Amino acid sequence: MNESHLILGVDIGGTTIKAAVVDTRKGTLTTDVLRAKTPQPATPKGVVAAIGELTKKLKWHGPVGVGFPGLIKHGVVRRAPNLDPSWVRHEIVEHLRRALGVSYVAVGNDADAAGLAEARFGAGRGVRGTVVLVTLGTGIGSAVLHNGSLLPDTELGHLEVGGQDAEKFASTVARKRNKWTWEQWGKNVDRYLTTLEYMLAPDLFIIGGGVSSDPEQFFRYLENVEAKIVPATMGNDAGIVGAALFAVHGVKALARKRKRNAT
Ligand code: BGC
pLDDT tens digit sequence for 132-146: 999 999 899 999 999
Which residue puts its alpha carbon closest to atom 5 of ligand 1?
A: 141
**Contacts of residue 176, Cβ cutoff 8 Å, sequence gap at least 6:** none
Reported as a pLDDT band with limits 50, 70 and 90, residue 4 is confident
Q: Answer whether 24's CB lies under 8 Å from 120's CB.
A: no
**Contacts of residue 119, Cβ cutoff 8 Å, sequence gap at least 6:** 125, 127, 131, 133, 143, 145, 148, 150
User: Could you identify the atom of ligand 1 that is nearest to the CA of residue 157?
Assistant: 6
Residue (of 171, 232, 176, 244) closest to 18 by Cα position? 244
Instruction: Tell me the three state secondary structure of residue 165.
Output: strand
For residue 148, the tally of other CB atoms under 10 A from its CB is 14
* Ligand 1 near 70 CB (within 6 A): yes
Q: How far is CA 6 from CA 53, 109, 120, in A?
A: 19, 20, 16
User: Could you identify the atom of ligand 1 that is nearest to the CA of residue 111?
Assistant: 10
Instruction: Tell me the three state secondary structure of residue 210.
Output: helix
Burial class (CB in 10 A: 0-12, 13-18, 19+), 16: middle
Residue 57 pLDDT more than 90? yes
Supply the pLDDT for residue 120.
97
Residue 105 pLDDT more than 90? yes
User: Could you identify the atom of ligand 1 that is nearest to the CA of residue 167?
Assistant: 7
- Indicate the top mutation candidate among 18, 107, 109, 171 to test ligand 1's pocket, ranked by most ligand atoms within 8 A of CB: 109
List of E strands, 24-169 = 28-29, 34-37, 64-68, 71-73, 76-79, 105-109, 130-136, 140-146, 149-151, 160-161, 164-165
**Pairing mode of beta strands 105-109, 164-165:** unpaired
Half-sphere CA count of 231, side-chain side, radius 13 A: 16
Reported as a pLDDT band with limits 50, 70 and 90, residue 1 is low
Reported as a pLDDT band with limits 50, 70 and 90, residue 263 is confident
* Ligand 1 near 38 CB (within 6 A): no
- Indicate the top mutation candidate among 155, 156, 165, 212 to test ligand 1's pocket, ranked by most ligand atoms within 8 A of CB: 155
Residue-range domains of the chain with CATH: 6-109 (3.30.420.40), 123-233 (3.30.420.40)
Express each pLDDT in 194-218 by its tens digit: 999 999 999 999 999 989 999 999 9
* Ligand 1 near 157 CB (within 6 A): yes
Average pLDDT of every residue of the chain: 96
Q: In whole angstroms, give the CA distance from residue 157 to residue 88.
A: 18
CA 141 / ligand 1 centre spacing (Å): 4
Q: In whole angstroms, give the CA distance from residue 165 to residue 188.
A: 12
Instruction: Tell me the three state secondary structure of residue 159.
Output: coil
Which residue puts its alpha carbon closest to atom 11 of ligand 1?
A: 139
* Ligand 1 near 65 CB (within 6 A): no
Express each pLDDT in 156-172 by its tens digit: 999 999 999 999 999 99
* Ligand 1 near 109 CB (within 6 A): yes
CA 80 / ligand 1 centre spacing (Å): 7
Question: In the predicted model, what is the mean pLDDT of residues 179-189?
Answer: 98
CA 53 / ligand 1 centre spacing (Å): 24
pTM value is 0.96
* Ligand 1 near 172 CB (within 6 A): no
CA 120 / ligand 1 centre spacing (Å): 21
Which residue puts its alpha carbon closest to atom 1 of ligand 1?
A: 70
> How open is the CA angle 51-155-19, to the nearest 5 degrees?
20
Supply the pLDDT for residue 177.
97
Q: What is the dihedral of CA 160, 162, 166, 170, to 10 degrees?
A: -170
196: amino acid identity, one letter? L
